[in-house]
Chain A
Amino acid sequence: MVSRGGQTHTRPRKPRRGLSDQNYVLMLLLPAAIFIGIFMLYPLGILVYNSFQHIKLTNPDSSTFAGLQNYLELFSSSRVRTSVGRTLQYTAVTLLAEFLLGFTSALLFSFLGRKSDLMRTVFLFPLMISPLVGGILWRFMLIDNFGIVNWVLYWMHLIKTPNDINWLSSPDLAIYSVTLPDVWLTTCFVSMILYAGLQNIPVELKEAANIDGASPLQVFMHIILPLLRPVIAVVLILRGIDAARTFDIIWVMTGGGPQFSTDVLSLQIYREMVRYGDLGSSSATATLFLVGLLIASLTLFFSIWKPGKH
């Protein structure tokens, strides 16, 4: 059994009265709290501290106070501005595609009811695939010359030659191509959660609306959507956060190229730190990313989620 420092003192007492509720909860929380404190809050403290220093990875001991200089450089750096734009673009496109596909399939599954059991099982399987493998796989399928996607389009007579679309080498297109693995991997997640949400809507409500002569569209707009609102909010927030912080998919597909056209914030911060060794500057970017994502997701969380308010 796990031995705890606090317990040896309380054991001689009557166990049923030992601790107050408050202290018992604190005792249960303590290990997790200590862990989060050491491995999350303390490192984040270092991150913020480093963001105010001139500090190189090659020589972390010699750091000088930089004040706001790292941050000021960020705001004037076009590289950072573009990567913020790329991150927003990637997140928006991924989220839109996943939500539309996921919602459509959830409605279809819900319409089919139990007949869709097997289909839902099959649908779930990319969820277990690592994003890294998903990225590699799609790079293989989209690559110029022997990529299967262009060949399939060619066989279907949709494009003239199998090299017509430069999925990964055209700077205008690459940012959309790198959303494909994520959409492939996690549309099922969106679909499953919306499907479960649809199952939780009482049948009587829909029947009552039908009796009152509501059209399917009216039922959808006035009953299903409002009741599904908290579920939709949770899905959008969870998927939005994951898309915004994507690293592995883009890393293996394009490495941020061509011409930095897929250089999202995670990649930009990684490169600044590992390749250029600029710890101060990468910490400042990472701090802003952290603050931005926290503010955005908490705002969304408390403004759309609104639990129990129908």
Chain B
Amino acid sequence: MTPRLTLQLIAGFAILLFLSAYVFPYFYLLSTSLKPAVDAITVPPTLLPEAFSLQNYLTVLANPGTLKSFSNSLIIALCSTLLSLVLSVPAAYGITRYSTVPGRLFLVLALCARMIPYISIGVPLFNFMKNLHLIDTHLAVILAHTTINLPLSIWLMCSFFEGFPTAIEEAARVDGCSRFGALIRVIVPVASGGIAVTAIFAFLTSWNEFLFSLLLTTVNAKTAPIAIAEFNTQYSVDWGAMAAMSILFSLPVMLFSFFMQKRIVSGLTMGAVKQ
């Protein structure tokens, strides 16, 4: 063996070891969710379920609150993603396509907005929504999630539109499109790759978000993360049910992301590396 190959083998082994330690927590969560409910807290704990059981899943799904919280999460995440795109795509295009003072100012504003601690915006947003009588409605959470999604969406779309050929727009204009018509009919379809990346990130942020949902909802618009956290009280925790619900909550998103992983990596690196 050449020295380089030996080194590569050692590196590969190191990474595999690291990865298995890395994957272990999720594997353990999955294993716990498949144990009979009482086995979740046996001493000593077991790595694999001694008897497979779907009891935890059935308990969780039998609770009408679970499905309600999942549908709330889905509605809120989809609407917030859509709203973020409708607002950020034209803005980002305007900023990158034309170099204007308001455009550059807006980009700096979006950068600052990205650095705001969520609790600082959460405190006044709670009062604002309360005055509008929107507490515990989908709309309140959708608006709150869009507020935190918008800066990131604008930055992602800007780095996507950078180096976007202007010839496409010019060709559409020659064919008689208005500028805005060209944006909607020609540029948006061509930019659909970047828009998809932005949409994935906006959806993930909203789907996983906790603090704003906690502040803004009580019963009707309660999202899935809040429902999961409610299993977790100081005194008693139904670990089996909580594991099952966590799996139901994260597995679909993970599977989806697995198939979209090229796009996710490009989105992650787009913002940071291409600047």
Report A's interface with B, CB cutoff 8 A: 1-2, 4, 7, 15-16, 18-19, 21-22, 24-29, 31-33, 35-36, 39-40, 42-47, 50, 60, 105, 108-109, 111-112, 115-116, 119, 121-133, 136-141, 145-148, 151, 162, 184, 187, 189, 192-193, 196-197, 200, 230-231, 234-235, 238, 241, 244-245, 247-248, 251-252, 255, 265-266, 269-270, 273-274, 279, 282-283, 286-287, 289-290, 293-294, 297-298, 301, 307
Contact = CB atoms under 8 A, between A and B. Distances in A.
A42 B32 CA distance: 46
B268 interface: yes
Given A39-B146, A282-B123, A25 B272 contact: no
Interface in B87-117: 87-88, 90-91, 93-95, 97-98, 100, 102-103, 106, 109-117
A43 B271 CA distance: 27
B41 A146 contact: yes
B170 to A, nearest CB: 11
The prevalent SS among residues of A at the interface is helix
A24 B179 contact: yes
Contacts of B265: 124, 192, 196
A42 B127 CA distance: 12
Contact of B18 (A15, A105, A234): A105
B261 to A, nearest CB: 6
Interface string B9-29: 001101110110011011011
B191 interface: no
Nearest to A133: B246
B90 A245 contact: no
Nearest to A22: B100
B15 A109 contact: yes
B8 A112 contact: yes
Contact of B88 (A32, A126, A184, A297): A32
Given A115-B12, A146-B45, A286-B120, A255 B234 contact: yes
A43 B125 contact: yes
Contacts of B144: 39
A279 B91 CA distance: 35
Which of B16, B91, B150 gathers most chain A CB within 10 Å?
Answer: B91
A151 B44 contact: yes
A35 B18 contact: no
A125 B228 contact: no
A128 B250 contact: yes
Nearest to A10: B178
B269 interface: yes
B119 interface: yes
Contacts of A192: 265, 268-269
Contact of A122 (B19, B178, B207, B215): B19
Contacts of B242: 136, 140
Nearest to A108: B11
A194 to B, nearest CB: 9
Contact of B184 (A1, A127, A244, A269): A1
A165 to B, nearest CB: 15
Given A25-B98, A279-B127, 14 more contacts: A29-B106, A32-B154, A35-B87, A44-B121, A47-B120, A47-B123, A116-B15, A122-B19, A127-B257, A162-B43, A193-B268, A283-B123, A293-B117, A294-B115
B15 A244 contact: no
B249 interface: yes
Pairs A-B, 9 closest by C-beta atoms = A28-B94, A15-B178, A130-B208, A43-B124, A196-B269, A32-B91, A248-B210, A245-B117, A286-B120
Contact of B211 (A129, A248, A255, A297): A248
Nearest to B114: A241
27 contacts: A15-B176, A15-B177, A29-B103, A31-B86, A36-B147, A39-B144, A40-B113, A40-B116, A112-B11, A119-B19, A126-B22, A126-B26, A129-B208, A136-B228, A139-B232, A146-B41, A162-B43, A197-B269, A231-B272, A231-B273, A245-B118, A247-B118, A273-B123, A289-B117, A289-B120, A294-B116, A298-B115
Contact of A137 (B8, B12, B29, B42): B29
B74 to A, nearest CB: 14
A26 B102 contact: yes
Contacts of B32: 140
Contacts of B52: none
